[in-house]
Chain A
Amino acid sequence: NAGVTQTPKFQVLKTGQSMTLQCAQDMNHEYMSWYRQDPGMGLRLIHYSVGAGITDQGEVPNGYNVSRSTTEDFPLRLLSAAPSQTSVYFCASSYSILRLAATGELFFGEGSRLTVL
C-alpha cells in the first residue's frame, strides 16, 4: 500500500498565484485532514473531512479551500497565495472518526513544502 501520498513535495509560488496540493490515500479511510507545520508552532489543523461530501474547518482555515468528492482524495486549494502561507503542509487520514477517537492514530503523508514569494 502507498498509504497517504502528497504531491507536489516542493512548490514555489508568487504572491497571488493559486495552486492545489493533492492528497490521496489508498487505505479506504473515511477521515482526512490537512495540517500546516511552522517552526515553533507545531501542527495546526486547516480543514478536515469525515467522509466524502463532508468537510469542516479546523483551527486556521482562512485562505484555504477543500473538497471531498471521493473517499480517496482530499485536495487543498490556495486561491491567492500569500507569504504567510509559506509552510510545510501535511495530509493525514484515519479509518473513521470513531477509530480516530478510539486509537488516536493518524496516518501522515510525507509533506508538501510550499514557499510563497
Chain B
Amino acid sequence: SQQGEEDPQALSIQEGENATMNCSYKTSINNLQWYRQNSGRGLVHLILIRSNEREKHSGRLRVTLDTSKKSSSLLITASRAADTASYFCATDVGGNNRLAFGKGNQVVVIP
C-alpha cells in the first residue's frame, strides 16, 4: 500500500509564485523525503526531514513535518519554469529497508 499521498494532485502557477504541496502518511516514520521527477526522467532527491525535526530549508525549498498529524508540506518559493515537474514524498518506515513513495504531485509553472 502507498505510505504517502500527496495533495493536491496537480498545481498550475505563474512563475514567481510559491507552490505548496502536501503529503500524508499512515504509520510512524523515521524520516520523510521529497523527490522531483522531470518528464520522462528518473527521480532526483531534494530534501530529507527527520521525525524529530519540524522544519527544514534548502535553497528555495522549505519542508515541514507534523508527526502528530502524520503530514508534511513542501513549499517552493519564487517558482521558475524549470520547477515544472512531478514531486513525490517518500517515507522510511524503518526496519524493512524500504522507501514508500506517494502518488506524486504535478506542478506546472507558467512562464
Q: Is B33 interfacial (CB 8 A cutoff)?
A: yes
**Total A-B contacts with CB atoms under 8 angstroms apart:** 67
Chain B, range 18-65, C-beta contacts under 8 Å to A = 30-33, 35, 40-45, 48
List 16 A–B pairs whose Cβ atoms lie within 8 Å, in order of A's numbering.
A41-B2, A42-B4, A42-B101, A42-B104, A43-B101, A45-B99, A48-B97, A59-B1, A92-B43, A100-B97, A100-B99, A104-B33, A104-B48, A105-B48, A110-B41, A111-B41
Q: Report which B residues bind A (CB closer than 8 A).
A: 1-2, 4, 30-33, 35, 40-45, 48, 88, 90, 92, 94, 97-104
Of A45, A59, A100, A106, which is within 8 A of B43 by CB? A106
Roughly how many angstroms separate A107 CA and B98 CA in the complex, as a whole number? 14
**Chain A contacts of B99 at CB under 8 A?**
45, 100, 104, 106
**In the complex, are the beta carbons of B43 and A108 less than 8 A apart?**
yes
What is the 8 Å Cβ interface bit string for chain A, positions 72-93, against chain B (1 contact, 0 not)? 0000000000000000001010
**Cβ-closest chain B residue relative to A49:** B97
Q: Report which A residues bind B (CB closer than 8 A).
A: 4, 31, 35, 40-45, 48, 50, 56, 58-59, 90, 92, 97, 100-101, 103-111
Roughly how many angstroms separate A59 CA and B98 CA in the complex, as a whole number? 9
Roughly how many angstroms separate A13 CA and B104 CA in the complex, as a whole number? 28
Roughly how many angstroms separate A43 CA and B96 CA in the complex, as a whole number? 17
Other CB < 8 Å A-B pairs besides A31-B97, A41-B103, A108-B44, 11 of them? A41-B2, A42-B4, A45-B99, A56-B97, A92-B43, A100-B92, A101-B30, A106-B99, A108-B43, A111-B41, A111-B42
